[in-house]
Amino acid sequence: MPSAQRDLARITLVVLAIGGLLATSLWILMPFLPALIWAIMIVVATWPLLLWLQKRLWKRRWLAVTAVMIALVIVFMLPFWLAISAIVSNADEIAGWAKSLSTLQLPQPPDWIRRIPLIGEKGYVRWLELTAFGPEELASLATPYAQEAMRWFAAEVGSFGLMAVQVPLTLIIASVLYVWGESSAEGARVSRASAGPRS
């Protein structure tokens, strides 16, 4: 009976240790999972293109992988770089807009606003009310919206920072999958065959 209790305790500790190792491994892999998932989707979608290029590039896998990776860098990194450069080049203009709120004065509303169905008359009256405010009152009205816009901008810059890490990581994983994809699939097929039929 004591040996059975020792075996039960040993089994419980082994299960807890394995569960802890699995949980820790998943926790460590969590930052890399989006890049891994994206890389797998990209490789699966472009695998026929890789094989087509390999046939035309003297059956050299490394040439085909290089060509596909150059195309992926252009498709993924170029828009990202253009967005970052647009934000950086317009930073002074964005700051100027924020400063111009204190001197903002609305013009009189145009007459065509009244002809907009359902909201035209209300919009015209509201615009007239806003033209009566001075720059300070308009700035105090616009401040919550400006703060919300700045929060959105900060969140977008943060997501750009995350993308700056995830996109290169995705491309690196994709290149590894391109090079070793067939041998990995063959290894998985062999291990399934050696496991035998499921009961």
Q: Which amino acid is at 159?
A: S
pLDDT at residue 184, rounded to an integer: 62
pLDDT at residue 64, rounded to an integer: 93
24 is a domain residue: no
6 is a domain residue: no
Question: Are 134 and 142 contacting, i.e. CB atoms less than 8 angstroms apart?
Answer: no
SS3 100: helix
pLDDT at residue 15, rounded to an integer: 92
Evaluate if pTM is beyond 0.75: no
Domain count, the chain: 1
First to last CA, the chain: 34
193 is a domain residue: no
Domain that holds residue 59: 33-186
Q: Which amino acid is at 139?
A: A
Question: Are 27 and 164 contacting, i.e. CB atoms less than 8 angstroms apart?
Answer: no
pLDDT by position in tens, the chain (length 199)? 566 677 888 889 999 999 999 999 999 989 889 999 999 999 999 999 999 999 999 999 999 999 999 999 998 878 877 877 777 777 677 666 666 666 667 778 888 888 888 888 888 888 888 887 776 777 677 777 777 877 776 676 667 677 778 888 999 999 999 998 777 656 656 666 665 555 4
102 is a domain residue: yes
User: Which backbone phi and psi does 196 adopt, to 5 degrees?
Assistant: 85, 170
26 is a domain residue: no
pLDDT at residue 199, rounded to an integer: 47
At a CB cut-off of 8 Å and minimum separation 6, what does 26 contact? none
84 is a domain residue: yes
196 is a domain residue: no
21 is a domain residue: no
